[in-house]
Amino acid sequence: MKKKGMLVLAACLAAGLVLFLSLPRGIGEDIFSDDDEDGDGLENCEEIEEYETDPMEEDTDGDGLDDGEEVETYETDPLEEDTDGDGWDDGEEVEEDTDPLDEESYPED
Ligand SMILES: [Ca+2]
Ligand SMILES: [Ca+2]
Ligand SMILES: [Ca+2]
Ligand SMILES: [Ca+2]
């Protein structure tokens, strides 16, 4: 029963441990919990295990959209600043009201 869930939890804890050990003393403790350390709307464990984003950085790829916004609102890649590869960052496209998932859609010059 619930074997898969336990495996995921164990993997998450292991990943958290690796991260914890790689951080300076003191700030890694909350990584083990379900907290949202960087306030981007994704729990630490989700970021480590599911999205591979940085649980201490709200905007992992630096495109101007928080990881949570990319995953839950715009469905863009939180690890890629220009998801559709049209030369415009996801954040710029959202600001200009074009589609960050469509390379044919980008702001006019
Ligand atoms: Ca987070
Ligand atoms: Ca981002
Ligand atoms: Ca992005
Ligand atoms: Ca783009």
Q: At 51, list the tokens.
A: 């999205």
Q: Which ligand has the shortest distance to the CA of 88?
A: 4
Range of the domain at 57: 3-96
Q: Which ligand has the shortest distance to the CA of 58?
A: 1
Tell me whether residue 68 is in a domain: yes
The structural domain count of the chain equals 1
Q: How far is the CA of 6 from the centre of ligand 3 (A)?
A: 31
Tell me whether residue 29 is in a domain: yes
Q: Which ligand has the shortest distance to the CA of 47?
A: 1
pTM: 0.72
Query: Which of 11-20, 81-90, 99-108 is the least confident region?
Result: 11-20
Separation between Cα atoms, residue 107 and residue 73, nearest integer Å:
20
Q: Considering the chain, what percentage of its residues have pLDDT values greater than 90?
A: 65
Q: Burial letters for 79-94: b for 16+ Cβ neighbours within 10 Å, e otherwise?
A: eebbbbebebbbbbbb
**Residues at Cβ < 5 Å from ligand 2 ion:** 59, 61, 63, 65
